[in-house]
Amino acid sequence: MPTGDLTQEQERLLVGRLIAGQDGAWEVFLQHFQGGISFCVRRAGISDDDHEDACAFVLESLFADGCRRLQLWEGRNGARLSTYLHAVSLNLARDYLRNLPRDVRFRAPEARIPETGRDIGIALGPEARALQSRLRDAILECLFSMPMGPDREILLFHFYAGLGAEDIARLSGKKRNAVDQALLRARRNLRDVAENVHPELVEYLEDEGRGA
């Protein structure tokens, strides 16, 4: 998801303008990030017939509840806005796919979709989807309570882009063993943060680490 000529400081200022509802901020956001969001929608396995509606769903969700999801990123050191949007947009697109009628859903290229580090499939009821959404938001809050650095970056791709160690290694050009070790360390640090921020996540993160 390219950022054009925006610096990290300009990204922060743009998000602040979006949250404040300033004129022109929406157009600037679309200019720099709409193409990347469209890419995430296609990567989620959504057909051309539903692509436009799915993009609209992702954008509406990003700006819902007073830009709550953007507020999670705003003003915190760490991952670039483009990295954050890639991860969040991909999961929102998958949420859209799960809500499609079953016959439409299974025309998509992916029949099963990884969710927050686990492949739980797409046959979820409303309560399960709501639980997964709360889980993602809690993990995201923990991630942005971590110090800036590679741990946060690798966990964003693991939990929010649904990437395993092999995919991360291929995209980053690192050896698989190095990525495995980095994920192990990052999960351990995330669990330590969760003990103070969301202690109810500790058991989940321990189980997720054992199942990786």
Burial class (CB in 10 A: 0-12, 13-18, 19+), 177: exposed
* In the predicted structure, residue 128 carries a pLDDT above the cut 60: no
pLDDT digits (tens, 9 = 90+) for 45-63: 788 888 899 999 999 988 8
pLDDT, mean of residues 125-143: 69
Do 59 and 40 contact (CB within 8 A), yes or no? no
CB 15 within 8 A of CB 73: yes
Length of the chain: 212
> Is 201:142 a contact under the CB 8 Å cutoff?
yes
Q: Across all residues in the chain, what is the average pLDDT?
A: 76
Which runs of E-coded beta strand occur in the chain?
A: 114-115, 118-119
Query: What totals of helices (H) and strands (E) does the chain contain, helices first?
Result: 11, 2
Q: Which residue has the higher pLDDT, 21 or 73?
A: 21
| pLDDT tens per residue, range 72-98 | 786 455 567 887 888 888 888 888 877
pTM above 0.85, yes or no: no
Lowest mean pLDDT among 114-118, 144-148, 193-197, 207-211: 114-118
| Predicted pLDDT at 107 | 39
